[in-house]
């Protein structure tokens, strides 16, 4: 009977409560990401946090049966360090680059924070875990309005994709229109396209431009470029967003 009861040593309501705290707090973190329709949402953040908490609980309580054996030395902090390393692989999976625009950095950082909150909950630092969860909401919801206010005149970067008729000097007119409106061309990529257009071959042009004051400025530029002689189509990409 004593051996049977000893097998439950380190298992009790304290450990279950630690996992429950991690579940609740990381659910709150994931809910914010889910409502904003990010790649990693409610389930990902909750599972990462609960998993980190379980690793920490195992590290603290799972070795009572061998801790008194000769030559056995345990260091629970090593598990916390490995959690931080392992979560990096998950975070890297939500960061991607498309047409030189990096997205997903904030979501990756949030996954890392969820793992930290779960680790703190598993270690019994519930107040610290709750404080970091509140700090996450402060940063995610409170900072963007302040940032927009401070940087509303800061130029942003976005791609412009155009198709124009070859042999009419259209590229020169496009670049002139862009610079006259206060934008700066960072990159230019052209590719010939045999699309069967009635006026001959078309050139597919991708510009990486910087300037304006957000999405509205780029839309105005795109509208102006559609009036340029020889331009067949214009599409403005989204300004760079790290989330």
78 with 183, same domain: the answer is no
Asked whether residue 191 is domain-assigned, the answer is: yes
53 with 124, same domain: the answer is yes
> Where does a domain end: 117, 150, 183?
150
143 with 52, same domain: the answer is yes
> Where does a domain end: 150, 165, 192?
150
Asked whether residue 221 is domain-assigned, the answer is: yes
Per-residue pLDDT in tens (0 to 9) along the chain, 243 residues: 555 445 555 678 888 999 999 999 999 999 988 888 877 788 989 999 999 999 988 888 776 665 665 666 667 677 777 888 888 877 777 777 665 566 788 888 899 999 999 999 998 899 999 999 999 999 988 888 887 777 666 667 777 788 888 777 788 888 888 888 888 877 777 777 665 555 556 777 777 777 765 556 777 888 888 888 888 888 876 665 555
Write the CATH number for 176: 3.30.70.260
CA distance 129 to 2: 36
60 with 122, same domain: the answer is yes
- 236 to each of 96, 117, 197, how far by Cα in Å? 20, 39, 22
45 with 79, same domain: the answer is yes
Which parts of the chain fold into alpha helices (H)?
Answer: 2-6, 13-35, 42-61, 77-92, 105-122, 126-137, 143-150, 170-180, 215-225
Instruction: Report the DSSP pairing between strands 231-236 and 184-193.
Output: unpaired
Concatenate the DSSP letters of all residues of 139-184 into one string. IIIIHHHHHHHHSTTS-EEEEEEEEEETTSSHHHHHHHHHHHTT-E
Residues, the chain, total?
Answer: 243
28 with 58, same domain: the answer is yes
89 with 195, same domain: the answer is no
179 with 91, same domain: the answer is no
Domain that holds residue 221: 156-236
Domain count along the chain: 2
CA distance 123 to 76: 10
> Where does a domain end: 150, 183, 200?
150
């Amino acid at each position: 009977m004593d051996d049977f009861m000893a097998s439950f040593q380190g298992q009790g309501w304290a450990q279950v409560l630690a996992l429950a705290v991690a579940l609740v707090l990381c659910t709150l973190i994931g809910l914010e990401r889910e409502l904003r329709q990010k790649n990693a949402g409610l389930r990902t953040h909750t599972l990462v946090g609960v998993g980190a908490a379980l690793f920490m609980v195992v590290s603290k309580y799972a070795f009572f049966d061998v801790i008194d054996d000769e030559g056995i030395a345990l260091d629970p902090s090593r598990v916390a360090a490995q959690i931080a390393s392992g979560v990096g692989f998950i975070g890297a999976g939500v960061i991607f680059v498309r047409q030189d625009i990096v997205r997903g950095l904030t979501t990756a950082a949030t996954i890392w924070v969820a793992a930290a909150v779960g680790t703190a909950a598993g270690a019994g630092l519930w107040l610290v875990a709750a404080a970091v969860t509140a700090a996450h909401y402060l940063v995610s919801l409170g900072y963007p309005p302040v940032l927009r206010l401070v940087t509303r005149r800061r130029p942003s970067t976005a791609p412009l994709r155009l198709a124009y008729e070859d042999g009419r000097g259209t590229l020169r007119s496009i670049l002139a229109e862009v610079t006259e409106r206060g934008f700066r061309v960072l990159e230019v990529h052209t590719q010939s396209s045999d699309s069967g257009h009635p006026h001959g071959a078309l050139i597919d042009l991708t510009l990486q431009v910087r300037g304006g004051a957000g999405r509205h400025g780029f839309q105005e530029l795109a509208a102006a470029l559609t009036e340029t002689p020889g331009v067949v189509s214009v599409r403005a990409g989204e300004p760079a967003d790290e989330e």
